[in-house]
Each structure stands twice: as structure tokens, then as C-alpha cells.
Amino acid sequence: MAVLTYREAITRALDEEMSRDGSVVLFGEDVAKAGGVFKATPGLYEKFGALRVRDTPISETAIIGAAIGAAMTGLRPVAELMFADFVAVCLDQIVNQAAKLRYMSRGKIKAPLTIRGAQGAGTGFASQHSQCVETLLMHNPGIKVAAPATPADALGLLKTAIRDDNPVMFLEHKMMYNEKGDVPAGDYLVPFGKAAVLREGKDVTVVAVQRMVKVASEAAEQLAEEGISCEVLDLRTLVPMDIGAVISSVERTGHLVTVEEAVETCGWGAEVVSRVASESIWNLDGPPLRVTLGESIIPFSEPLEEAIIPNPARVISAVRSLMAH
């Protein structure tokens, strides 16, 4: 067991997979000698060379187009989009090409492609560089979506993504790169579609991913002082989604709150609430509640940005209202 930052866990995963499999290649803007704009790829260029670690032009369509071509012809590319927001620039390539290649070729062509992207607010990068984009991908069959909340999951999920024969969108929260945590030694893998119960509870189920896992956990700690017991679930991956773990938890607690750093309309929390309502509604003792960004475009102003991002106080308020209900 070692203590690593979220950033160091990403680097280790890339290093281990490139060492294990010569078909794994990495490319994106400034990922080579510069070590990545968020410094998640240092040393890889020096170790693996210019053929396997390549800088690209500032063109998301070029990056993803080249990655799809590389995947189709036998490589396992890891393509970095500096900011996940710009997945919108190459959405056609991802959802209409990469995600559908195996289906349209009757399984003759596969796209073992991992797309890494830094997402999330809290850095003052304003509207075009601060969004969480998971729901842009979730609606399209054929692509998996991972959103790790800890260094251990960042390592284990990225290694799993690289070995997957399907395209994976691997989302890293830019506010988490410096956060530290215990990371197992050895060839550590985390399976997709298996949520983690981070805190057991009996009164309310609180479901979150990525940075919001910490927010939910802090809220649960404060609520425990009031005698309210929260069960905190980290979904880890949104496609596939471990809805069974959520339903199992709701059967014990009778209440559900989702916490997501995204616009409320059509967010992943809506999918969770819908599935629980359709499959386990008689276990609910009150209406499911969602804590989100609302309908706001993320502002540049630090106080305004801070005001819209879900925080422990908003989660606590939601849980209190459920318990009162």
C-alpha cells in the first residue's frame, strides 16, 4: 500500500499499462515532454519514446479521429482531451463512430479506446472549461463512462478502461489531482459497474460520484452528530451503472438523495431516481431529492461559482427535509 495523489495514480496506471502492453499508446496536447497541462503524464515520454507518447495539434477532432483509427488497426490508444468540455467538439466521432463500430461491423471491428478528460468546476476556469460532461456520453449506447473519486479508483478504473475492448470516457476531476489516498500495490484493477459503499447507514441513502463523494461524506459526518445515519454510495462508473447497489441501499434506508456537480435537467441523478422509482418505489418513505448545479452556466466569478456548486450544507438541508417528511 502506498499513499499517492490522484494525479500520481493516473501516471502510475498509464506507466504500468504501457509497460505491460506494447500496443498502448498515449497522445494529446502537451502530454509528451511537458508531462501534460495538469502534470499527469510526466516521465512517460522519456521512458517510452516519441513513437508511443505523442504531442498533437490543438484539435480535439484530430486527437479523437487519430485515436479511433489507431484503435481500429490494433493499438490501444489513450487520448487526452485537455478539458473534457471540448468533448462536444468531437461528439460525432465518439458517439456515431467509436461507439457504434462493433455493432455496425457485426463484431469484426473493435475500438479499444480510452479518452481521458479533466472536468469540473472550482478552479475559476469559467463557463467553457468547468463543466461535468458525463451525461453527454451516457445517452449513447456503446461507450462506457468512468468517474473516479479516489486515487485508488483512479488507478484501478483507468487500468480497467485501457484493457477494455470498448471505448471508455475516463473523466478526471481537475480539483482532485492533488488529493491523496491509499493505493494498493501490484496489478490493481477496479471492475466497471460496481459501486462502493463508503459509509453504512440506516436512515438515508446518499449517492454521488467524483468530487461530490467527498461533499456527501462530509455531510454524512455532520448529520451523524444529529443522530441521522446516512449511507454514502460512490457509483464509480456511470456506464455501466450499479443501480442494484442503490436499490439495495434504499431498501434499508427508505430515503434517497443524489448529489451531482452538473445541471439538473437530464442529469445522471434523474436516471437513478427514475430507476429506483420504477423498481423499488414501495421501499421509499419520502420523495427522492437531487442536489445539483440547478440550471446555471458556470460563472467565472469565484463567489458565484462557489454558490452554485453543491456543498455539504445543501446536502444536509436535503436530508433534513426528507427526515422531516
Give the number of other Cβ atoms within 10 Å of residue 316's Cβ: 19
255 in catalytic set: no
> Cα(3)–Cα(182) distance, rounded to whole angstroms?
5
- Rounded-to-integer distance, Cα 111 and Cα 122, Å: 33
Instruction: Return phi, psi of residue 182, to 5°.
Output: -70, 135
Angle ∠(106,112,118) on CA atoms, nearest 5: 135
205-224 burial string, b = 16+ CB within 10 Å, else e?
bbbbbbbbbbbbbbbbeebe
The residues annotated with a catalytic role in the active site are 129
